[in-house]
Chain A
Amino acid sequence: MLAGAGGILGLVLLLLGAAFRTRGRAPDEGRDVKVWIVGLGLGFTMSVLAALTVYGVYSGQQLMPRDGTDVVSVQAEARRWSWSFAYADRPGHITDGIMHIPAGRPVDVAITSADVVHSFWVPRLAGKLDAIPGHVNTIRIEADMPGTYEGLTAEYNGPGYSDHGFAVIAHDPQAWADFVAGGDR
């Protein structure tokens, strides 16, 4: 996408620069309209954008969560300025500031807010989804490798915004089993 954008930028700037060279061509309004407005303005822009639009919608479609049998469910609730997480596999257990997930399995995080609008963002795992009071939004994430991932809040929510974040710990199957069983994590 970046290369394409760079190419278009280069092309247009080239055309712009070339306007300043001297030349002795008789002006012809009809031809100019055909070349510049119909050809470049409509034809060129529309074909590039149509391709991009179809690609965008298609690739977005690919990112949609699919039904699976081994999906893990986590509930995330944001408030100023902390996050707490509850687990379908371990009812009643709530962790503050740390979200535990199994590595290599899809996880549905149901996000909501106790006060203002926040946004749930684990840059290395997925895009953002807002935490909105009264609504529950679900995001599908999946960590390929066990480890710790940084999570952030991405919607301004007042003076504690800069440091408002959480950590995601992805466990290997054994450690996840321990966690679900009530291991001291």
Chain B
Amino acid sequence: MKDVLRILLPLLVWLASFSAIYGLHGIGCAAGWPDVALAGSSLFRLALLAAWIAAIVLQVAILIALRSTRFRADEGFAYRVSVALAWVGVVAILWTLFPLATVAECRVMG
């Protein structure tokens, strides 16, 4: 069961981070954070960036942990699959959330 959990963990964490940051974006837009200037940017952008960086760090930490002698899967197959999925987690967190660094804040398209 632990090996199955190792296989499921990296992307479970991605899903949690992705949903949480989407939620944060919704709350930020509703609360008017884009209008709060902070350190040359806005509270909104900085909050999202901070959350994103934390999520990336978490994802990388999982990758390192699943390769480490302490937490790695005992069995070769589960080890290979879990490490591959940990890489997917890193790519996914970068790929799916990159718009938060570049896109306009809270504007509805139209």
Residues of A within 8 A of B (CB): 50, 53, 57, 60-61, 63-65, 126-127, 129, 137-140
For residue A138, which residues in chain B have a CB less than 8 angstroms away from its CB? 108, 110
Report the separation of the CA atoms of residues A57 and B108 in the bound assembly, to the nearest whole angstrom.
14
For residue B95, which residues in chain A have a CB less than 8 angstroms away from its CB? 50, 53
- Distance between B34 CB and nearest chain A CB, rounded to angstroms: 14
Known contacts A57-B102, A57-B103, A65-B110; 7 further A-B pairs (Cβ under 8 A): A64-B107, A64-B109, A127-B110, A129-B110, A137-B108, A137-B110, A139-B110
For residue A57, which residues in chain B have a CB less than 8 angstroms away from its CB? 99, 102-103
**Contact mask B4-44 → A, CB, 8 Å, 1/0?**
00000000000000000000000000000000000000000
Report the separation of the CA atoms of residues A141 and B104 in the bound assembly, to the nearest whole angstrom.
19
- Distance between B98 CB and nearest chain A CB, rounded to angstroms: 8
Decide if A61 touches B104 in the complex (CB within 8 Å). yes
Assess A64 versus B99: contact at CB under 8 Å? Given A129-B110, A137-B110, A138-B110: no
B95, B104, B109 interface centre (most CB from chain A within 10 Å): B109
User: How would you classify the secondary structure of chain A's contact residues: helix, strand, loop or mixed?
Assistant: mixed
Number of B residues with CB within 8 Å of any CB on chain A: 9
Decide if A63 touches B102 in the complex (CB within 8 Å). no
24 pairs, A vs B, C-beta closer than 8 Å: A50-B95, A53-B95, A57-B99, A57-B102, A57-B103, A60-B109, A61-B102, A61-B103, A61-B104, A63-B109, A64-B104, A64-B107, A64-B109, A65-B107, A65-B110, A126-B110, A127-B110, A129-B110, A137-B108, A137-B110, A138-B108, A138-B110, A139-B110, A140-B110
For residue A129, which residues in chain B have a CB less than 8 angstroms away from its CB? 110
For residue A64, which residues in chain B have a CB less than 8 angstroms away from its CB? 104, 107, 109
Across the interface, name the chain B residue whose C-beta is closest to A138.
B110
- Distance between B22 CB and nearest chain A CB, rounded to angstroms: 15
Find residues 47-105 in chain B having any chain A CB closer than 8 Å to their own CB.
Answer: 95, 99, 102-104
Report the separation of the CA atoms of residues A127 and B95 in the bound assembly, to the nearest whole angstrom.
26
- Distance between A29 CB and nearest chain B CB, rounded to angstroms: 14
Report the separation of the CA atoms of residues A57 and B99 in the bound assembly, to the nearest whole angstrom.
8
For residue B109, which residues in chain A have a CB less than 8 angstroms away from its CB? 60, 63-64
